[in-house]
């Protein structure tokens, strides 16, 4: 077990975990989209499935923004303290780079949460319009030809 943990902590292990998690998210997205597209083609009413998911996401976004804000502020203070107490120039440069990486990640997470919050109504409208028109956009274009 120690060997597995040690391998996962290595740079190759971290890269492997990132690739695997990205592959899982991509596979889940493809499966979810294909299931929704198939159900829409069959004329299924997706509002009974979509509305609880949208409600769950809406109820989780505000607490997530609060947690990201609070956690980010605490981590920024810790990084600033480490930068201020660094004595050697190499260590100081390393701390400066970690602060830059933190700021980029922090802004990216915050922007993605805000985009999620603002994008849900648009996606809901798009889904409602596509199912109200008799299925997915591909089915509509084939009928027009």
- Residue-level pLDDT at 137: 47
- Residue-level pLDDT at 60: 82
Question: What's the mean per-residue pLDDT of the chain?
Answer: 76
Apex CA 51: angle with CA 48 and CA 55, to 5°?
A: 145
Is pTM beyond 0.85? Reply is no
Helix count (H) and strand count (E) of the chain?
5, 0
- Residue-level pLDDT at 145: 47
- Encode burial over 68-92: b for 16+ CB neighbours within 10 A, e otherwise: eeeebeeeeeebeeebeeeeeeeee
Tokens of 66: 């609060």
- Residue-level pLDDT at 140: 46
- Residue-level pLDDT at 36: 63
User: How many Å apart are CA 11 and CA 79, to the nearest integer?
Assistant: 22
Q: Which of 67, 71, 65 is nearest to 113 (CA)?
A: 65
pLDDT above 80: residue 83: yes
pLDDT digits (tens, 9 = 90+) for 93-118: 999 999 999 899 888 888 888 888 78
pLDDT above 60: residue 135: no
Confidence of residue 77 (pLDDT cuts 50, 70, 90): very high
Report yes or no: 132 and 47 within 8 Å, Cβ to Cβ.
Answer: no
Q: Which of residues 78 and 110 earns the better pLDDT score?
A: 78
Q: Give me the mean pLDDT over the 44-68 stretch.
A: 77
Q: Which of 69, 50, 68, 47 is nearest to 58 (CA)?
A: 50
Q: Give me the mean pLDDT over the 60-75 stretch.
A: 84
Q: Which of residues 78 and 3 earns the better pLDDT score?
A: 78
User: How many Å apart are CA 64 and CA 47, to the nearest integer?
Assistant: 25
């Amino acid at each position: 077990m120690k060997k597995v943990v040690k391998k996962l902590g290595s740079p190759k292990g971290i890269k492997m975990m990132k690739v695997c998690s990205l592959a899982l998210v991509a596979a889940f997205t493809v499966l979810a989209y294909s299931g929704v597209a198939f159900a829409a083609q069959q004329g299924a009413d997706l509002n009974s499935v979509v509305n609880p998911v949208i409600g769950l996401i809406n109820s989780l976004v505000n607490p997530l923004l609060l947690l990201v804000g609070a956690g980010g502020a605490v981590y920024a203070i810790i990084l600033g303290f480490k930068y201020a107490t660094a004595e050697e120039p190499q260590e100081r440069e390393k701390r400066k780079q970690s602060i830059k990486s933190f700021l980029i990640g922090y802004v990216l997470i915050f922007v993605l949460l805000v985009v999620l919050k603002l994008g849900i109504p648009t996606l809901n409208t798009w889904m409602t319009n596509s199912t109200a028109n008799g299925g997915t956009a591909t089915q509509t274009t084939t009928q027009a030809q």
